[in-house]
Amino acid sequence: MPATPPPDGKPAVRLDRVAKTYPNGVAALAGLDLAVAAGEFLTLVGPSGCGKSTLLRLIAGLDRPSGGTVARAATDLGFVFQDPTLMPWADVAANIALPLVLARHPRAEIAARVDAMIARVGLAGFAGAYPRELSGGLRMRVSIARALITRPRLLLMDEPLSALDEISRFRLEDDLLALWREFGTTVVFVTHSVFEAVYLSTRVVVLTPRPGQIAADVPIDLPHPRGSALRTDPAYAALCRRVGEALAAAGGTA
């Protein structure tokens, strides 16, 4: 486990009575409270359209809440979209370097950090490849590497693995956990897979259908490091069942 925050430490993210109503009148969120502790791997699960992505965008500051407040301890953050969202005209190294380039870091420093990150996320040999030459799993690795290149204290991920095949997904889940432990980043992760949520998280928050409310808040006290053996562990199965039942009770059908 990464260093647990001191009990009096400020939460990495705090949402107070956050509401979001879109101009077309759809209320995505109506008065939601949530605190994310530093170092936590928190996953939001909920039925489609429950405002999970809206919540992530509010935390990122990409949208403004129509009510309530969003507070973040850190200003720096990484964001991973559902699609890899790479620049097709740039190779892998240039895509990963983007946040550092935009922040005008020295060129030599960028090159060194990108090289290290490429090796770290399993993209060795692909530095000069273009996105269209990569598989879906590799593209997502580039996207995650780009989000982590600034070593942000907060990482927001919006269903990043949902489009991948199961083999790539399992492998990326393990790599993602290793990166989280190594970087000590706070992660807020969105998925609609109960199994993925329990496998990855230290805490799973189940949301109700729109407007999203917290239906259940389930701490996941499974030990780290986690590996494929966990997927058949009774404790894992029991937690999956608990989260699944909470999701069903909240009105979300799997």
Partner 1 sequence: MPTPQARRERALRLILPALVFVLLILAWDLVVRVNALPPYILPGPSLVLHTLVADRAVLFASLMVTLKTTIAGFALAALGGILVAVLLHQSRLLAYALYPYAVVLQVTPVIAIAPLLLIYLPQEAAVLACAWIVAFFPVLANTSLGLRSVDRNLVDLFRLCRASRWQRLTRLELPAALPHILAGLRIAGGLSLIGAVVAEIAAGAGGAASGLAWRILESGYRLNIPRLFAALILLAAAGVVIFALLSLLSLLLLRRWHESALAPPDASRA
Q: Based on the shown chain and the rule CB under 8 A, indicate whether residue 85 belongs to the binding site for partner 1.
A: yes
Structural contact between residues 143 and 79, judged by C-beta atoms closer than 8 angstroms: no
Task: Specify the stretch interacting with partner 1 by CB under 8 A; choose among 10-18, 127-135, 197-205, 228-236.
Answer: 127-135
64 binds partner 1 per the rule CB under 8 A: no
C-alpha to C-alpha distance for 19 and 230, rounded to whole angstroms: 37
What are the residues whose beta carbons fall under 8 Å from the beta carbon of 123, sequence distance 6 or more? 92, 138, 141, 142, 145
Q: Between 212 and 251, how does the x/- string for binding to partner 1 read (CB under 8 A)?
A: ----------------------------------------
- Closest to partner 1 by CB, 130 or 170: 130
If binding is defined by CB under 8 A, does position 163 make contact with partner 1? no
Measured between alpha carbons, how far is 112 from 76 in angstroms, rounded to an integer?
Answer: 21
**Of residues 146 and 226, the one with the C-beta less far from partner 1:** 146
Q: Which stretch binds partner 1 (CB under 8 A): 33-41, 74-82, 165-173, 232-240?
A: 74-82
Out of 35, 74, 90, 237, which residue is the one contacting partner 1 (CB under 8 A)? 90
Least gap, CB of 76 to partner 1 (angstroms)? 10
Q: Which stretch binds partner 1 (CB under 8 A): 42-50, 108-116, 129-137, 193-201?
A: 129-137
Q: Which tokens sit at 205?
A: 């928050």
Element (H, E) at 21: strand 13-21
* Cβ pair 155, 148 in contact under 8 A: yes
Return the structure tokens found at 42.
């928190």
State the Cα–Cα distance between residues 78 and 133, nearest whole angstrom: 24
* Closer of 32 and 100 to partner 1 (Cβ): 100
